[in-house]
Amino acid sequence: MADFGAGELDAFRAEVKAWLEANYPAELRDPKVKSDPEAMWGGRAFAGSNDPQIVWMRKMAQKGWTAPTWPKEYGGGGLTPQQARVLDQELAAGRYHAPLASFGIWMLGPVLLEYATEAQKKEYLPKIINGEIRWCQGYSEPGAGSDLASLQTKCEDKGDHWLINGQKIWTSYADKADWCFCLVRTDTTKKHEGISFVLIDMSKPGVETRPIQLISGESPFCETFFTDVQLPKDALVGKVNGGWEIAKRLLQYERQNISGGFGGGGGAGGAAGDLGSIAKTYAGVDEAGRVADHDLRQRVTQNKMNFQALGQTIARTAAEARASNGPSAATSIIKYAAASFAQERSELMVEAMGHQGLGWDGEGYAPGELLAVRGWLRSKGNSIEGGTSEININVVSKRVLGLPDPK
Ligand SMILES: Cc1cc2nc3c(=O)[nH]c(=O)nc-3n(C[C@H](O)[C@H](O)[C@H](O)COP(=O)(O)OP(=O)(O)OC[C@H]3O[C@@H](n4cnc5c(N)ncnc54)[C@H](O)[C@@H]3O)c2cc1C
């Protein structure tokens, strides 16, 4: 890709700024207008919808800016990494809503670009970019979490179709998803070399989802059952029994992306507000306007500095990844650090609130206090989702530091 000089980037920035200002739906800035909170995930449920968030998503998708660096031939923006960074900066500076939240953009699309056939790319990438399909991730099973390659969901070759039978668990938003990218077993005599990567339309007969309730009170994920689900032969991505390589690659993208998300809250945590402001409100301020409690002030400051450093490290490694062959095992370092900082922030938030940080429901608690408590409970999952902290440390030991297996 061509390298852009400062002058060209400045011109691009001015163009982006003007376009965003001209095209952002005014309703999204109007507190009286309510947008459906699910709209940012797009999908079939919002086909034909005029929700302002969907209007915004469509406009951005037409520019290819929901997937800024993907090739133009599939509907992406075709931007260089530097241009994409300018777009990110302008979106943040203008406090514009993200146009689309999508497992398709964050995880599936990048591996389709790398491993899918031309026909599969043409079929799925434009639909991901346009937010037409909401995807879920069918990796974990009751007996296969950290040891993911133990998965048992069976995929049999029936000549003119694949036949899927098995169960997935912790499938985030499976009940709302249109399609699932899924790991299945195509060879029962091997472990890693017996896994394939398939795409499943969730409206097919034999697919069933059951939501699971969490300690935070939400039900964002499901048990997912496949009973005699028939898939066309072109539903398999890459080689038969070659799915493990794709699975690992996708996890790198996932770890890179969710780490960035923890910076913004890690679930509901960030929704409660800025940690520094909350600490000042509840612990009071000294004569210099700082958090009055010295120990709390130090820990809040350290946490904010950690997030600053993390944000810059994520931006640097993402730029490196875009300029080379995509993310590496080093994403496990970031995922581990991001989960630790996000959990620490949630702990500090409820600690700063004192007894007001103990409420679950009812009168006597402000909405922000209830959000902070639910965010604190949700943050327990930060060190589990996308691979546990222990597993990420193992990846760093083996794949980044090159340490041998313990004897
Ligand atoms: C919020 C959230 C969203 C999720 N969304 C999805 C999703 O959309 N799709 C999906 O497929 N899955 C999803 N998951 C599941 C997640 O990927 C698994 O929970 C995770 O991989 C751990 O698997 P497990 O729960 O079976 O725990 P286990 O693998 O049973 O682990 C239990 C404990 O043992 C430790 N442990 C296990 N093996 C080792 C080892 N070799 N060395 C050191 N310690 C070890 C683990 O670190 C952990 O503390 C989600 C999880 C959460 C919390």
Which of ligand 1's atoms lies nearest the C-alpha of 146? 29
Q: Which two tokens stand for residue 404?
A: 């041998």
Residue nearest to atom 3 of ligand 1 (CA): 385
Write the DSSP assignment of 289-310 as a string of letters: SSBSSHHHHHHHHHHHHHHHHH
- Could you tell me if the CB of 388 is within 6 A of ligand 1? yes
- Separation of 387 CA from ligand 1 center, angstroms? 6
Does one domain contain both 267 and 233?
no
pTM for this predicted structure = 0.92
Does one domain contain both 203 and 103?
no
Does one domain contain both 203 and 318?
no
Q: Is 146 helix (H, G, I), strand (E, B) or coil?
A: coil
Does one domain contain both 140 and 78?
no
Residue 113: enclosing H or E segment and its boundaries? helix 109-115
Domain end position, chosen among 241, 266, 294: 241
Q: Which two tokens stand for residue 254?
A: 């996932």
Q: How far is CA 404 from CA 22, 98, 237, in A?
A: 56, 42, 32
CATH of the domain at 17: 1.10.540
- Separation of 386 CA from ligand 1 center, angstroms? 7
Residue 129 within any structural domain of the chain = no
Cα separation, 168 vs 119, in Å, equals 28
Q: Which two tokens stand for residue 94?
A: 């203008």
Mutate which of 255, 384, 392, 394 for ligand 1 pocket (most atoms within 8 A of beta carbon): 384
Q: Is 377 helix (H, G, I), strand (E, B) or coil?
A: helix
Residue 127 within any structural domain of the chain = no
- Could you tell me if the CB of 262 is within 6 A of ligand 1? no
Does one domain contain both 168 and 203?
yes
A 10 A CB-CB count for 293 gives 16
Residue type, 47: A
Q: Which two tokens stand for residue 189?
A: 């005599």
Residue nearest to atom 30 of ligand 1 (CA): 145
- pLDDT by residue for the chain (407 residues), tens only, comes to 455 677 889 999 999 999 999 999 999 999 898 889 999 999 999 999 999 999 999 999 999 999 999 999 999 999 998 899 899 999 999 999 999 999 999 999 999 999 999 999 999 999 999 999 999 999 999 999 999 999 999 999 999 999 999 999 999 999 999 999 999 999 999 999 999 999 999 999 999 999 998 777 778 889 999 999 999 999 999 999 999 999 999 999 999 888 777 654 444 445 567 899 999 999 999 999 999 999 999 999 999 999 999 988 888 887 787 777 778 888 899 999 999 999 999 999 999 999 999 998 888 999 999 999 999 998 999 999 999 999 999 999 999 999 998 77
- Separation of 141 CA from ligand 1 center, angstroms? 10
CATH of the domain at 289: 1.20.140.10
Domain end position, chosen among 212, 241, 270: 241
Picking from 229, 198, 52, the residue whose alpha carbon sits closest to that of residue 124 is 198
Residue 123 within any structural domain of the chain = no
Reported for 208-217, long-range contacts at CB under 8 A and 24+ positions apart, including other chains, are 209/171, 209/174, 209/175, 211/175, 212/169, 212/170, 214/377, 214/378, 214/381, 215/377, 215/380, 216/267, 216/268, 216/374, 216/375, 216/377, 216/378, 217/360, 217/374, 217/377
Q: Is 239 helix (H, G, I), strand (E, B) or coil?
A: coil
Residue 200: enclosing H or E segment and its boundaries? strand 195-201
Catalytic site includes residue 38: no
Cα separation, 171 vs 179, in Å, equals 12
- Separation of 160 CA from ligand 1 center, angstroms? 35
Residue 406 within any structural domain of the chain = no
Q: Give me the pLDDT at residue 266, please.
A: 41
Residue 274 within any structural domain of the chain = yes
Q: Give the ranges where 163-293 is alpha helix by DSSP (H).
A: 243-263, 275-283
Residue 323 within any structural domain of the chain = yes
Does one domain contain both 290 and 378?
yes
By CB atoms closer than 10 A (0-12, 13-18, 19+), residue 288 is: exposed
- Could you tell me if the CB of 392 is within 6 A of ligand 1? no
CATH of the domain at 170: 2.40.110.10
Convert 299-316 to b/e letters by CB count within 10 Å (16 or more is b).
Answer: bbeebbebbeebeebbee
Does one domain contain both 261 and 232?
no
Domain end position, chosen among 217, 241, 265: 241
Number of domains observed in the structure of the chain: 3
Which domain range does residue 256 map to? Answer: 246-400
Mutate which of 103, 148, 170 for ligand 1 pocket (most atoms within 8 A of beta carbon): 170
Does one domain contain both 153 and 101?
no
Q: Give me the pLDDT at residue 267, please.
A: 42
Residue 130 within any structural domain of the chain = no
Residue 60 within any structural domain of the chain = yes
End-to-end Cα, the chain, rounded Å:
46
Q: Give me the pLDDT at residue 39, please.
A: 97
Does one domain contain both 234 and 357?
no
- Could you tell me if the CB of 381 is within 6 A of ligand 1? yes
Q: Across-strand partners of 162?
A: 157, 231
- Taking each helix axis from N to C end, the angle separating 243-263 and 294-323, rounded to the nearest 10 degrees, works out to 140
Does one domain contain both 24 and 99?
yes
Q: Give me the pLDDT at residue 148, please.
A: 97
Q: Give me the pLDDT at residue 4, please.
A: 65
- Separation of 390 CA from ligand 1 center, angstroms? 10
Cα separation, 253 vs 259, in Å, equals 10
Query: 100, 40 in Cβ contact below 8 A?
Result: yes
